[in-house]
Chains A and B, each alone.
Chain A
Amino acid sequence: ETGVTQTPRHLVMGMTNKKSLKCEQHLGHNAMYWYKQSAKKPLELMFVYSLEERVENNSVPSRFSPECPNSSHLFLHLHTLQPEDSALYLCASSQEQGAFYNSPLHFGNGTRLTVT
């Protein structure tokens, strides 16, 4: 069983809807991430939070809005998405000590998002 849980597993939404993706990590890590995985493309980093503060926003459109209320929970709020936003959205966590990106990422099983 993964130490990072994501809900929902599948989501279908229209372009005018507002929905949220939820992620919870049970590993005691201090950093959390959102990644986008599209078919036949490498994982794309979207957002990084360290100790509940956003440390990186990788030029993501404003229709994606992250929220990190505490070190164990991460949300991705979605509104007015486009069909090309359909993808697998992965949450990850890591335990950073000193330098960032210095330890492995632990991923959840993702939310498969379809925008119609």
Chain B
Amino acid sequence: GESVGLHLPTLSVQEGDNSIINCAYSNSASDYFIWYKQESGKGPQFIIDIRSNMDKRQGQRVTVLLNKTVKHLSLQIAATQPGDSAVYFCAENSAGNQFYFGTGTSLTVIP
């Protein structure tokens, strides 16, 4: 089966600092990746996605990096704010198969 995991279950950062959340995947055929943010009491919220023909994609204050060689995905959040506190998890799939999700990293922003 698929294996999607995160290196660290929790991350604490100072407000204004940059955050980096990592995700490892095991299926070398995976070609589509998504980062989600889940706040307490809410459902997962789409942040940014990337396909395997790209190495980097930027959004508003967020950047996703994909390293296919080591099967690693990261989410960078610039100038982290208290509102960024949430659980972040990655999802991946390959060739029209179902998405597989990680268990999540809990990000806490210290004011």
Contacts and interface: CB of A to CB of B under 8 A. Distances in A.
A105 B89 CA distance: 13
Interface in A60-109: 90, 92, 99-102, 104-109
B50 to A, nearest CB: 11
Nearest to B94: A101
Interface stretch (B12-20, B76-84, B95-103): B95-103
A108 B103 contact: no
B41 A109 contact: yes
A45 B99 contact: yes
Interface string B91-111: 101011111111100000000
Contacts of B95: 99
A90 B98 contact: no
Going nearest first, the 6 A-B pairs with the smallest beta carbon separation are A107-B43, A99-B96, A43-B101, A42-B101, A109-B43, A107-B44
